[in-house]
Amino acid sequence: MVTYQYLCDEHGFFDIVKPMGTAPKTSRCPKCSKRARRHFGVSVPPTKGWPMACEALACHPSQIPEMQAEMRKRMGTTTEFDSMGRPILQNRAHRKQYLAAHEVFDRDGGYGD
Ligand SMILES: [Zn+2]
């Protein structure tokens, strides 16, 4: 069995497990049931547009529940993580809030905030 990764425009990454060579081009998002396209190249996060998987603030996948709980406490909202442990930043405001909660400032982000 192989894990295939899909990307919902709204909810970020999710995985499905299927026998090798049987991955459909699209799969229904488990959260909204919209068609999500297959995502190739698991180590490459989307670099343009939102939502964005944040490589720099990723944690080990085993730490996702712990990180999610901590971020919920600090931010008051829930942040989704992909299977690689990368937080899914929904938009610019979310990114800013997430960075602040991490006490991180991104000088080179080119966002001006
Ligand atoms: Zn979705």
> 66 C-alpha vs ligand 1 centroid, how far in Å?
23
Q: Where are the beta strands (DSSP E) in the chain?
A: 2-8, 12-18, 26-28, 35-39, 52-53, 80-81, 87-89
> 30 C-alpha vs ligand 1 centroid, how far in Å?
7
pTM: 0.53
Write the pLDDT tens digit of every residue in 80-107: 898 889 999 888 888 888 888 887 776 6
C-beta of residue 60 within 8 angstroms of C-beta of residue 45: no
Domain limits, the chain = 2-39, 52-101
Using CA atoms, how far apart are residues 73 and 27, in angstroms rounded to an integer? 33
43 pLDDT band, cuts 50/70/90, is very low
Write the pLDDT tens digit of every residue in 56-69: 888 898 999 999 99
> 34 C-alpha vs ligand 1 centroid, how far in Å?
6
% of the chain exceeding 90 in pLDDT: 28
> 61 C-alpha vs ligand 1 centroid, how far in Å?
21
